[in-house]
Amino acid sequence: MKKTFMGVRLKRLREERGLTQVALARALELSPSYLNQLEQNQRPLTVPVLLRLNAVFGVDVQLFSENDEARLIADLQEAFREHGAGEPVSQAEIRELAAGMPGVARTLLTLARRQQEAQEREAAWAARMGLDRSEQPLATRQPFEEVRDFFYARHNHIDELDRLAEGFADAWQLRPGEMADGLEARLRQAHGIDVRRGSRLPAEASGDAQREFDPATRTLALSPHLTPGQQAFQMATQLAFLEAGDGIDALAAGAALASDEARRLARIGLANYFAGALILPYTRFLERAEALRYDIERLGRAFGVEFETTCHRLSTLQRPEARGIPFFFVRVDRAGNISKRQSATDFHFSRIGGTCPLWNVYEAFAQPERVLTQLTAMPDGRAYLWIARTVTRGYGGYGAPSKRFAIGLGCDLQHAERLVYSKGLNLGDSESYTPIGAGCKVCPREVCPQRAFPAVGGALVVDENRRRFAPYPLR
């Protein structure tokens, strides 16, 4: 196994608990000299020491996970590529920073993110107001971005809500595929709420609304356009506020969000998380997923939910003692707008400038409702298996516009053989992997047939000999 040196993290853990080296060494049944060598990165952190840290202090071993380090490295690479001040930062320096000083690394990322958000809002306001960039006011961070980053920092797994929801599902004897009836009974018996399925919503809640709760009459009206699985999800969301409201409020309050709007969005996101965990209980869902080799359509039929809901739940299965495959989940439209982005891994696309057009999530629009697979390679050498398929929502009549999204679910290639979607793919042929990137603004690939504009710090010029656009760094 690769040796893991985590001296700074160990020292930080000790200082946070107000312990001396001697006291910590005694608690871990180590000699003070050995602990000192661990903190000075003269010895690697071993599995027995990690297990002892967990047993004595209840420390999640993921604090010392290389996956967290990989996430930091990927984010730092993007930040330094976008915001570098002239002198390049080497890969070795980035790795040292992520491994040795993760707190400093995260602070740098926060500063870089705030700078980028301010610059983008400056440009957006200037365009809207017809102002020069120098006249544009700086805005604060968007609430939805704060909430998105809150879930990203938690690896898209909220353990306390997940366990609570699973306990309720068992106590209420909810059965997969028949959740709606059980949830309706719970709302009626425990809360005196009358559920009206398929009824027309009030005028003020029409349009894209899926449920409307009237506290005066204790009535929950569900849109007539919802499938049984969607009805179950909406009832489960209502139950989240009723049964888990205190826990949701505590999580939202402790998320260090900057505005009431962000906290409100966080409560909705947490309620939706609880709803997914209630209708797709962790243990049963994970066991079935493993048995079906993560066949999304068969898994969805087994639990009576749609493709998107199944994919989203798969991206949350990161309970420490029973982890599923760490997935990255994304939902995009034809224009490349990412409306959902959740990750249990270190994989991420750029937050700015669009994503990679070579990614199969965009090809899915040309083949509606068909599951597409793709082996990809990122610029850092990591390889992934991606599954993509479109989902459509249309509630109007003839000629009315409908919503169509492409859903992408990806995982590291090391997990690919556990998925039914690897069938027929040559996982060992790296030459067949599609080279993709995080987005043109941050992608270092100098030769790409789909490059739309240069990476930050580079320029696009016309190569007259080859009749193509090619990026060249500014000199």
Which of the given ranges, 8-22, 207-221, 407-421, 432-446, has the highest pLDDT on average?
A: 407-421
Whether 314 contacts 294, CB under 8 Å: yes
Residues 300 and 207 both lie in one domain: yes
Contact by Cβ (8 Å): 156, 344: yes
Percentage of the chain lying above the pLDDT 90 cut: 43
Q: Are strands 219-222 and 318-319 parallel, antiparallel or unpaired?
A: unpaired
Span 206-217, mean pLDDT? 81
- Radius of gyration over alpha carbons of the chain, in Å? 24
Is the pLDDT at 65 greater than 80? The verdict is no
One-letter amino acid at 243 equals E
Together in a domain, 262 and 303: yes
**Last-in-domain residue among 313, 347, 369:** 313
What residues form DSSP beta bridges with 337?
none
Same domain, 53 and 71: no
pLDDT of residue 80: 79
What CATH number has the domain bearing residue 402? 3.30.450
Is residue 285 pLDDT above 50, yes or no? Answer: yes
245, 279, 313 - which closes a domain:
313
Q: Determine the average pLDDT of the residues in 194-206.
A: 71
The CATH number covering residue 45 comes to 1.10.260.40
pLDDT score recorded for residue 3: 47
Q: Which of 83-97, 166-180, 398-412 has the lowest mean pLDDT?
A: 83-97
Q: Which residues of 186-207 are buried (b: 16+ CB within 10 A; e: fewer)?
A: bbeeeeebebebeeebeeebee
Q: Is residue 467 domain-resident? A: no
CA 150 distance to own-chain centroid: 10
Q: Is the dihedral of CA 141, 143, 146, 152 positive or negative?
A: negative
Longest dimension (CA), the chain: 77
**CA–CA separation, 64 vs 92, rounded Å?**
19
Percent of the chain with pLDDT over 70: 81
pLDDT greater than 70 at residue 419: yes
DSSP state of 313: H
86 and 46 in one domain? Answer: no
Q: Using an 8 Å Cβ cutoff, are 415 and 293 in contact? A: no
Same domain, 81 and 191: no
The phi, psi pair for 348, rounded to 5°, reads -160, 150
Q: What is the pTM of this model?
A: 0.74
Question: Any idea which of 27-41, 269-283, 403-417 has the lowest mean pLDDT?
Answer: 27-41
| Bridge partners of residue 392, in order along the sequence | 404
How far apart are the C-alpha atoms of 254 and 150, rounded to whole Å?
10
Check whether residue 343 and residue 422 sit in a common domain. yes
Q: How many independent structural domains does the chain possess?
A: 4
- The residue type at 362: Y
Which is nearest to 112 in space by CA: 350, 346, 330? 350
CA distance 332 to 341: 9
Q: Residue count of the chain, please give it.
A: 475
Task: Looking at the structure, tell me whether residues 171 and 303 fall in a common domain.
Answer: yes
Q: Which amino acid is at 275?
A: A
Mean pLDDT of 7-20: 80
Structure tokens at 91: 């890969």
Pair 189, 296 in one domain: yes
DSSP β-bridge partners for residue 412: 384
DSSP 205: G
Residue 468: predicted pLDDT: 43
Whole-number Å distance between alpha carbons of 462 and 468? 6
**Residue at 292 is within a domain:** yes
**Helix, strand or coil for residue 331?**
strand
| Mean predicted lDDT score pLDDT of the chain | 82
The H or E element containing residue 411 is strand 403-412
- Whether residue 148 lies inside any domain: the answer is no
pLDDT digits (tens, 9 = 90+) for 372-385: 999 999 888 889 99
The angle subtended at Cα 335 by Cα 359 and Cα 109, nearest 5°, is 70
Within-domain flag for 208? yes
* Residues 301, 167 share a domain: yes
> 233 and 101 in one domain?
no
| Cα–chain center distance at 332 | 14
Nearest to 154 by CA among 412, 410, 342: 342
- Over residues 212-240, the mean pLDDT reads 92
In a domain, residue 42? The reply is yes
Overall average pLDDT of the 229-246 stretch = 95
Same domain for 380 and 342, yes or no, is: yes
Domain that holds residue 82: 67-139
Q: Of the given ranges (75-79, 207-211, 349-353, 462-466), which has the lowest mean pLDDT?
A: 462-466
Structure confidence at residue 58 (pLDDT)? 76
Coil, helix or strand at residue 63: helix
| Rounded Cα distance, 172 and 458, in Å | 59
Residue 203 lies in a domain: yes
Residue 274 contacts by C-beta under 8 Å, 6 or more apart in sequence?
161, 164, 165, 236, 237, 240, 244, 248
pLDDT range class, residue 471, cuts 50, 70, 90:
very low
Strands 338-343 and 322-323: unpaired
**Is the residue at 234 inside a domain?**
yes
Determine, yes or no, domain membership for 153.
no
Residues 366 and 387 occupy one common structural domain: yes
CA of 437: how far to CAs of 4, 167, 337, in Å? 28, 41, 16
Q: What is the pLDDT of residues 318-366, one digit of tens each?
A: 998 999 999 999 999 998 888 888 887 766 666 555 688 899 999 999 9
